[in-house]
Amino acid sequence: MSTERRPSGQQTTASAVSDSAFLRACRREDVPHTPVWFMRQAGRSLPEYLKVREGVPMLESCTRPEMIKEITLQPVRRHGVDAAVLFSDIVVPLKAIGIDLDIKPGVGPVIADPVRTRADLDRLRPLTPDDVPYVTEAIGMLTDDLGATPLIGFTGAPFTLASYLIEGGPSRTYERTKAMMYGDPELWADLVERLSVITGEFLAVQVEAGASAVQVFDSWAGALAPDDYRRYVMPASAKVFERVAAYGVPRIHFGVGTGELLGLMGEAGADVVGVDWRVPLDEAARRVGPGKALQGNLDPTVLFAPRAAVEAKAQAVLDAAAGLEGHVFNLGHGVMPSTDPDALTRLVEFVHERSAR
């Protein structure tokens, strides 16, 4: 997969990346087959991941360029997916500016001192490329090794990150988050504005280093009614998309349970809207409107069913996507850790075969 380091070789690779099925689908161009990648395709579903990570805490592994590179490449090698996604986490930029936090196995991000007052906002200073040198270094190595396979950079969206910062960890109800949003809208607006600067810069660093698409994870935005999303969240998310608009790389916007928000999530500035499994892709396309590609949307738990059932469900996703302007096949949320890796490899083969033009 490596490319010669001659200028002409690099040029060839750059155009091969640009001509990849994944980037073509994001741009709503015709494709040789429907491209497929999986959110959380690296990680605990892969034994080779567990081996590399042995004894290294999650957040530390995200700061080691060689490890980032290796883990990012693992699912590309094993499954033959059409895109790589950088091994990192949505809380990495917060850690990088000095927020005291950890990722607890089986729990998720946990914040030592939650952000709840105006004074707490001082801890959210802007991020600079020097805060995340390991990201730049890892992507530099990866773009060489990936050859024609595009690399997706990502960030958490302001709302989803704010929810972790305010609640202090994962939440089912977002009660403190919503209490701030409704009770002190000015403080809330300042908080998400600061997060939009940090996350926009984190995306820019990744694109500058060589990422050829970006995804904004607003995983928990589905907790919001459309009016609240529009008023309290969308302006900050729009700033993140604006920050990387001039690079011309496709921008994907994803959340869970966002059926009622799909139109607004497209409007926020996305080129590709990610859809979970609750809304069929043809209906999602009506909600999003023309001019955008869609990504999704096989229920990740379907992968625990027998092969024939997985294939029937995957075919249903392809059928619902048949009339779309552009479709990137993905799961409706991340790969679950106990997923059989072979089921994922078979799914990639199935999507490629069934969608071959």
Kindly list the catalytic residues: 40, 44, 53, 89, 164
Exactly one of 219, 295, 297, 339 binds ligand CP3 (CB under 6 A); that residue is 219
Binding segment for ligand CP3 among 9-17, 103-111, 117-125, 308-316 (CB under 6 A)? 103-111
Q: Give the whole-angstrom CA distance, residue 23 versus residue 29.
A: 9
Exactly one of 46, 103, 223, 224 binds ligand CP3 (CB under 6 A); that residue is 103
Q: Which residues contact 150 (CB under 8 A, 6 or more apart)?
A: 17, 20, 22, 23, 82, 83, 84, 212, 213
Query: How many CB atoms are located within 10 Å of the residue 314 CB?
Result: 21
Exactly one of 26, 34, 43, 351 binds ligand CP3 (CB under 6 A); that residue is 43
CB of 16 to ligand CP3, least distance (A): 23
Task: Please list every residue from 287 through 346 that binds ligand CP3, using CB under 6 A.
Answer: 333-334
Nearer to ligand CP3, 28 or 192 (CB): 192
Are 329 and 38 in contact by the 8 Å Cβ rule? The answer is: no
Query: Secondary structure of the chain: what % helix, strand, coil (to 5)?
Result: 55, 10, 35
CB of 72 to ligand CP3, least distance (A): 7
Does the protein bind ligand CP3 through residue 82 (CB under 6 A)? no
Q: What is the total residue count of the chain? A: 357
User: Is beta strand 213-217 parallel, antiparallel or unpaired with respect to 251-254?
Assistant: parallel
Nearer to ligand CP3, 28 or 90 (CB): 90
Does the protein bind ligand CP3 through residue 40 (CB under 6 A)? yes
Q: Which residues contact 224 (CB under 8 A, 6 or more apart)?
A: 159, 232, 233, 261
Binding segment for ligand CP3 among 14-22, 102-110, 180-188, 295-303 (CB under 6 A)? 102-110
Nearer to ligand CP3, 220 or 232 (CB): 220
Structure tokens at 71: 């883990």
Exactly one of 13, 41, 45, 355 binds ligand CP3 (CB under 6 A); that residue is 41
Q: Which residues contact 204 (CB under 8 A, 6 or more apart)?
A: 243, 244, 247
Residue 313 vs residues 22, 329, 336: alpha-carbon distances, Å: 21, 12, 17
Nearer to ligand CP3, 197 or 221 (CB): 221
Exactly one of 14, 16, 58, 316 binds ligand CP3 (CB under 6 A); that residue is 58
Q: Give the whole-angstrom CA distance, residue 144 versus residue 147.
A: 6
Does the protein bind ligand CP3 through residue 85 (CB under 6 A)? yes
The footprint of ligand CP3 (CB under 6 A) covers 39-44, 53, 58, 85, 87-90, 103, 105-109, 154, 217, 219, 333-334
